[in-house]
Amino acid sequence: MKSVPQSIESGKLNFLEVLNLGIAQIILWGGSYFLLSVLAKDIIAEMSWSYQQVYGCLSLALLVSGLLLPLVGRTIQQTDRNAVLLFSGLVMAMGLIIIGSSSNFLMFASGWVIIGTAMAMGLYDALFAAIGKRYSFNVAKSIVWITLVSSLAPSVSWLFTSYILDSFGWRNTCYIYAILLIITIFPIHMHVFKNKAGNKSILKDETLESSVELFRSKLYYLLSANFTLGAVITTTIIIHLIEILLHGKTEMSMVLIVISFLGPSQAMARVMELIIGKKTAIEMSFISTTIIFLGMVLIFASPILAIPGVIVFGIGNGMRSVLRGTLPLSVYGRDNYALIIGRLARMPLLAQATAPFLGGYLIQQFGMVFFLCVISFMAIVNIFLIALIKQAIEQYKLISIHE
């Protein structure tokens, strides 16, 4: 009788493993997506680069991540060792060291290319793919718990990075954060995804031909469209939230209070996922997409409704983060999960990379009202897409049964 890997024997992640993975995500998000929120001002002041140049490098990182994710998903699917996830922290640390040492913009941008590679290797999509392949029970619940912990990433990483910045400057902040990544990410992932020598995965990889068929299906295109629209809507609203609130005649002091509710409300969404866990993933998708739209309406309608609007919007966006992992899992199962999630993540990340420029262009050229109308229309379309996805899922499962 063949031995079975420890992770398959245990069947699910335990509490300590979930906590460790959540902490790893906080550190990885803090060293990439949320880094410039703290360091940008000092970088611009020292290097005399424009705001667009500095933040354009984050868009570049997102672009690189989106292009690499299908390869990352395929690698996770076809190999037993989680080398991609294991070395994500080391790669991100390399990018931060280059950024901290940069004397010109080309060197700075190249550091962000490396960070974009690390984002593809270690953030949610790669982690969800690895968990979906490796563990057999309570995968969806594990994803919810991990995102519950990692939803603290903005608050924790901003506070930590700000403290280091005030004491050591932006270059040394990059170096210190790189050291933190080196000493934490590899051991955490090594412990959670440990392999016994000589053991092989009991999961069978799909052939390339059968995988290609999945990516040509109506269901795949609908899911990709839904995820992409969701990424554009939420990213654009979050990036331009201060401008939206100021346009609605909200005082700047009140704006700062309003936006402070975004992070906690996203964490609240994870708690709701656990409370109403009996809902199917497609039902949760409908709830998430609908309340994102409702939150937008409240934010746009009146300054008085801004706080409840941000809370509702944050809950919907928090649910959307979870559904990036749980919806494909519920549709395709574990056998194709790593491949599917890697491919499904590509277009949303590419869209996120262009979202700041798209929003800024619409506001500058056509005004805030036109921008809000366009984003609202996209949100309505996304709600209708859920109905089409539900129908396509039913057809897909009927075909699978007959086969």
CATH number at residue 36: 1.20.1250.20
In a shared domain, residues 360 and 236: yes
CB count within 10 Å of CB 30 equals 23
Residue 180, domain member (yes or no) = yes
- Rounded to the nearest angstrom, the gap between the alpha carbon of residue 64 and the centroid of all alpha carbons in its chain is 14
- pLDDT of 197: 38
Q: Does residue 365 sit in the same domain as residue 396?
A: yes
Residue 108 shares a structural domain with residue 229: no
**What is the amino acid identity at position 296?**
M
Cα dihedral 276, 24, 228, 259 sign: positive
- Amino acid sitting at position 37: S
Spatial separation of the C-alpha atoms in residues 122 and 119, rounded to whole Å: 5
Shared domain for 184 and 332, answered yes or no, is: no
Tokens 């491919």, residue?
343
Compute CA distances 156 → 97, 172, 225, whole Å.
Answer: 21, 19, 32
Please check whether residue 252 lies inside any domain of the structure. yes
Instruction: Show which of 159, 190, 221 is a domain's final residue.
Output: 190
pLDDT at 103 over 90: yes
**pLDDT for 274:** 65
* 204-to-80, 319, 329, 331, 374 alpha-carbon distances in Å: 11, 30, 16, 18, 44
Q: How does the average pLDDT of the chain come out, rounded? A: 84
pLDDT of residue 195: 57
For residues 141 and 322, the answer to whether their CB atoms sit within 8 Å is: no
Does some domain include residue 80?
A: yes
Residues 371-382: tens digit of each pLDDT: 999 999 999 999
Is the per-residue pLDDT at 122 higher than 90?
yes
Poorest-pLDDT segment among 32-46, 151-165, 191-205, 303-317: 191-205
Check whether residue 220 and residue 177 sit in a common domain. no
Dihedral sign (CA 62, 383, 152, 236): positive
In 3D space, the residue among 340, 370, 346, 344 whose CA is nearest the CA of residue 358 turns out to be 370
pLDDT at 398 over 80: no
For the record, the structure tokens of 205 come out as 């990889």
Examine the domain organization and report whether 170 and 267 are in the same domain. no
Asked if residue 209 has pLDDT above 70, the reply is no
**Per-residue pLDDT tens over the stretch 320-372:** 888 888 888 888 877 777 788 888 888 888 888 888 778 878 887 898 899 99
- In 243-361, which ranges are E strands? none
Q: When comparing pLDDT for 177 and 354, which is higher?
A: 177
Residue 44: which pLDDT band, with cuts at 50, 70 and 90?
A: very high
Lowest mean pLDDT among 37-41, 111-115, 286-290: 37-41
Q: Which of 158, 190, 222 represents a domain boundary (last residue)?
A: 190
Q: Evaluate whether 60 touches 111 at the Cβ level (below 8 Å).
A: no
Please state the φ and ψ torsions of residue 194, each to the nearest 5 degrees: -65, 145
**pLDDT confidence band for 199 (50 / 70 / 90):** very low
Strand, helix or coil for residue 350? helix
Domain presence at residue 195: no
CB 366 within 8 A of CB 373: no
Please, is 47 exposed, middle or buried when counting C-beta atoms within 10 Å of its C-beta (0-12, 13-18, 19+)? middle
Question: Are 137 and 242 found together in one domain?
Answer: no
Q: How confident is the model at residue 206 (pLDDT cuts 50, 70, 90)?
A: very low
- For residue 365, is it within any domain? yes
Pair (249, 174) in one structural domain = no
pLDDT at 6: 40
pLDDT value, residue 214: 63
* Whole-angstrom distance, CA of residue 48 vs CA of residue 213: 50
End-to-end CA distance of the chain: give it in Å, rounded.
Answer: 30
Whether residue 200 is contained in a domain is answered as no
pLDDT value at position 196? Answer: 40
Structural domain of 150: 13-190
Asked if 99 and 225 sit in the same domain, the reply is: no
Number of folded domains that form the chain = 2
Task: Find which of 46-55, 118-127, 207-216, 320-329 is predicted with most confidence, using mean pLDDT.
Answer: 118-127
Assigned domain for 121 exists: yes
- Which range has the worst mean pLDDT, 44-53, 128-137, 206-215? 206-215
Is residue 54 located within the same domain as residue 100? yes
Closest CA to 306 of 268, 352, 360, 259: 259
Last residue of some domain: 155, 190, 225? 190
Q: Bigger pLDDT: 342 or 172? A: 172
Residue 4 lies in a domain: no
3-state SS of 326-377 is HHHHHHHCCCCHHHHHHHHCHHHHHHHHHHHHHHHHHHHHHCHHHHHHHHHH
Residue, of 374 and 238, whose pLDDT is higher? 374
Question: In whole angstroms, what is the distance from residue 247 CA to residue 5 CA?
Answer: 57
